Structure 1
Amino acid sequence: MADSYILGIDCGGTKVMAQSVTYNSITGLVSPGEFQLEVNYSDSPKWNSKFIPVHLDLQRQEFSEGNIYLTQPEIDQGDVIVETIQDIISKSESDSIGLCFPGIKNDRGVVIMANGPRIPDLLERIQGIDSIPHDSDCCVLGEWKSTIGKLQNCDNAVYIGGGTGIADGIILKGKMIDFNAKDDVKRSWELKIPSGETIESCLSPKGMIDQWNLSQREKVKTLDQLSKNQNADTI
């Protein structure tokens, strides 16, 4: 069987990263290709840097009731994300595309989102995509099934990656645990500490920066800036 050439698109809370890969059907591994692109949503003049997601409890309620009421800020923010994805696809000239996205999805789009807008019609708006796997799962797969991955040949592993949120995953006895199929396994944004905060809001890079900026006069934008502050231990 011939090798397959695929464009992988990783959508996060603040940017989209795209990478072409070659899939080797014999080894089951992918190798990085030449096309690579990273685009921040904030590059668009329509991006709202002060966007606040709808409260998760309300998102869950609307989803369970089958009626998702998007706010205008959600619609506007979602439009920027979709336009960014479409622009990257057009530049890649690739026919085979895989796309991952954070949040909880159904068979049409993103219905619950902790760090951004819900986009319940995402699949209809992106040609060439028929499913949207969770970005955390794809992070694990990238390390596990890539020629440059750090989890190659691992039968048991825990993956934790930080960005806008936290990407988490588990490989157990040579299989990746499906968090969506197990009620007793929670992701970091679903786990709460006694204060009511989530693990993700406390330990993700963005969460730590937000905590600092809420409690201190001197604001920071990166973890590097935070680590160099002499008062950083206060959080």
Structure 2
Amino acid sequence: MKVIGIDGGATKVSAALVEKDDSKTFKIVGNIEELRYQDHESFDFEFDPCDFELQLKNLPIDQNESKQGNIYLQTILNIIDRFDGMNDTYISLAMPGVKSKDKKGIMAMKNGPRLPNLCTLLQEKLGSTSKISQLESDSDMCSWGEQFSKDGAFRNIQNAYYIGGGTGIADGLKLKDRILSFDSQSNWIAKTWELKTQNGTNLETLISMPSINHADTKLLYDISIQIASLIFERVTTIYEGWQFSYGLDREIQRNHQYCGTLIDRVVIGQRLSEFLSSKQGHKYFNIICGHFHKLCSEHSVILKEHFCSNGTIKKGMLHLSKLRESPIIGLGAKGWTYVK
């Protein structure tokens, strides 16, 4: 049996065959294939998802949303077919959005149609020897990729936070040498899309790539400060519990089992890393490092000594990952755990 890792985003799906070198290392074999939803002949360019809060309240799916969802389904099937994946294949698929309790469907999505029965619909189309078990979190799979790729930034690190920037923000955690899903730790830490700034702006909307791509110099500076502040919030929430730094529309507890843990590395990934590594973006990476240094230095001696040295952030503490394929490798690694 082979494993296909499929990274489903808001605008496209990317996929590749993933093989294992050993139990701790996985790699992509061959090319990464991509298909855009909008290239489907029936794609509805006028489709606009209903209000996200209403989606969370199970607003019924209308005919237009159902048709758009079918295009997403067909696009996924088309990319599976490129790898001859209809038979003797495990399909490891990540999609954005809020998953159903059994992780087999998408109950809410900001940038696309809901697909509450996605896994069932895919399994009906696949041959009897191919299988999909559940939908994975695209954020979690970035962390898995950084852990199980030969060049991953989570390897040989006990405690790390991952922030990946694309259409939205991917959050990942590794604490006490274990990859943790934000969903499994939601009683004490919140995903970026849940957080609001002091003026009520959604933090994910503010700091993700659509905002960065259209920002002027002043706004890029403000976004850099916000990214540094978010990283600092992650560090302090892990070390000493939730600090009420952002608005959050649910209760969250301060005490948790990882209190007292200091992050060894912050990994910045995906298109956000590409931007901050570029000639234009590097100065904003320096702004992020400078503001994070300021926040740590002012907060406590412990944080200053752990993260800072000689008036700056210690080398490697804020790491710009070049592993753009991390979610696909992560999906492959996760998929192989289901293959007997």
TM-score normalized by the length of structure 2 = 0.56
Matched, 1:20 2:17: yes
Any idea what SS the aligned residue of 1:74 has?
Answer: helix
Specify every segment of 5 or more residues in structure 2 that has no aligned partner in the other structure, as ranges: 124-130, 217-270, 281-340
- 8 Å Cα contact 1:200-1:207 kept in structure 2: no
Which residue identity lines up with residue 139 of structure 1 in the other structure?
C
Quick check: 1:44 aligned with 2:44?
Answer: no
- Could you report, residue by residue, the CA deviation over 1:41-69 in whole angstroms, capped at 9, with x for unpaired residues? 1211322344322212111222xxxxx41
Q: Does 1:152 align with 2:155?
A: yes
Change (3 A) 1:187 1:83: same
1:125-164 superposed matches below 5 A: 125-127=121-123, 128-164=131-167
Mapped pair 1:104 → 2:93: no
Q: Which residue of 2 aligns with 1:207?
A: 211
Shift of 1:101: 0.8
Tell me if the contact between 1:37 and 1:88 (Cα under 8 Å) persists in the aligned partners.
yes
Deviation at 1:119, TM superposition (A): 0.6
What is the alpha-carbon distance in structure 2 between the residues aligned to residue 206 and residue 73 of structure 1? 25
Q: Which moved more, 1:147-156 or 1:30-39?
A: 147-156
Aligned to 1:65: none
Match of 1:193 in 2: 197
Larger fraction in helix: 2
Q: Deviations over 1:7-56 (max 9, x none)?
A: 100000011000111124x4322111114201111211322344322212
Whole-Å Cα distance in 2 between the matches of residues 207 and 76 of structure 1?
A: 29
Q: Contact conserved, 1:6 with 1:97, CA < 8 A, in 2? A: yes
Are the counterparts in 1 of residues 5 and 91 from structure 2 also a CA contact under 8 Å?
A: yes
**1:180 aligns with one of 176, 179, 183:** 183
The answer (yes or no) to whether the contact 1:202–1:211 under 8 Å persists in 2 is no
Contact 2:194–2:202 (Cα < 8 Å) also in 1: yes
Structure 1 residue 178: Cα displacement: 2.2
CA contact (8 A) 1:5 1:23 kept: no
In structure 1, give the amino acid aligned to 2:7.
D
- Please point out which of 40, 49, 71 is paired with 2:62: 71
- Residues 49 and 151 of structure 1, relative CA distance in 2, 3 Å threshold: farther
Aligned residue for 1:217? none
Deviation by residue 1:194-226 (Cα, 9 ceiling, x = unmatched): 3332111111102344678xxxxxxxxx998xx
Q: Which of residues 3, 8, 12 is equivalent to 2:5?
A: 8
Instruction: Provide the C-alpha distance between the structure 2 equivalents of 1:189 and 1:44, rounded to a whole number of angstroms.
Output: 29
| Structure 1: runs of 5 or more not aligned | 63-67, 213-221, 229-235
Change (3 A) 1:51 1:195: farther
Conserved? CA contact 1:22–1:31, under 8 Å:
yes
What TM-score do the two structures reach when normalised by structure 1? 0.80
Cα contact 1:189–1:198 (8 A) shared by 2: yes
Higher relative contact order by CA 8 Å / sep ≥ 6: 1 or 2? 2
Q: Does 1:31 align with 2:27?
A: yes
- CA displacement, residues 127-148 of structure 1 (integer Å, 9 cap, x when unaligned): 2211111110011111111123
- Count of residues in correspondence between the two structures: 208
Counterpart secondary structure, 1:89: helix
